[in-house]
Each structure stands twice: as C-alpha cells, then as structure tokens.
Structure 1
Amino acid sequence: MVYDVFVGKTGDAGQTTVRLQTQGSDELTEEERELLKSRASQHTETLPDYTWRFHRKVNVGFKQVGHEAVIQDDSYETYVDAIVDELLTLTETFHPIFVEESG
C-alpha cells in the first residue's frame, strides 16, 4: 500500500487529502493488490473518519483535511502540522497490520 498526501490547494483556505492507495505500487500483481485491499477492509473501524472505497486503486481510504478548520481548532499551530499528524496516524495504524498479516 502507498500512503500519501494530495494537496488540493495550499494556504489557510486550502485542503489536503491524506490517502491510502495501491496505484503507486507498480510491482504488485492484481491478486496482491486485492489481498491488501481485503486486509485493509477488515480494519476500517480503526479510522472511522476516513472514506473507504475498496473498488478503487487510488483513494482506497482517504480523509480530507480542511486547512481553515484545522487552524481554527487550535489543536495545531499550522495546517501542515495537522497533515503530518494525520499521515502518521494512517501509517502507524495500517503498516503494522500489513506487516503482521504478510509475515
């Protein structure tokens, strides 16, 4: 699986998508890709704020981070901090699942 960030628009009024996808995994066979998506589908409750679309290669799971909402929340100094935190949450949640179940 690939963990990445798509910045739709920068600045305080922008938005960023933090996402889990298989599109960038060119070395995977279609069978391996489907197996990873199946594993992920069994753990969606761990990140309930994400939207899940297992029929896709891009944006299998994703969450929109609205920059303005994050800044107004006072939990983060900048929206970049919130994006990094969300990407860490995504990888720390799913990487152990993929490693454990593949080994």
Structure 2
Amino acid sequence: MFTKTAQLWHNATPHPHWCGLTLLAIDGVFWRTPDTPENDAAFPRQTHAGNPALYPQVKMVCQMELTSHLLTAAAFGTMKNSENELAEQLIEQTAITL
C-alpha cells in the first residue's frame, strides 16, 4: 500500500529537476510500536543505563523528493540497523548517491 500510494502521489506531482535529475534526500526516524510479544520478538528494545525502552521500536529510513517532501521509498529495520544499512536498500529502487 505504501509503495503504490507513494508512487502515485510522486508521479502526479510536478517536481523541479536539476540537470535532469530528481532532487532526493534520505533521513531516518524511529517509531514506537505496541507493546506485544510479537513486536518484542521482531524489534528488540534498546537499553539505556541497563534499562530497556518502554516500547519496541522500528527504525525507518525514508527517501523523499526535496521540494514536495513526498516520500518515494522507505526501508524498515530494528534499532540495531544503522541508517546507512537501511539506505543501501533504497539504491535498488532509485539510483542514489550516498
């Protein structure tokens, strides 16, 4: 659903280009998930000073078009994944330079 709607909105919106290239950026964010055994298994909790986080967390790296801020792609992982690791997954979807 995310991929289909992101592509539809991106393709329907006019975007300026630079030297024929679409202007893109990547950024990371993390989201709290419901406190369930399934989420705990899929998304191990981070710890700080030996104390676990209150909720499991998902890390998301987004690729967006700079002028509209529309997301064009995303990769998801655990808090143990670096943003660079997740950004590498976006290369197959869009030719980007890291």
TM-score by length of 1: 0.31
Structure with higher RCO (Cα < 8 A, 6+ apart): 1
Higher strand share: 2
Larger Rg: 2
Higher helix share: 1
TM-score by length of 2: 0.32
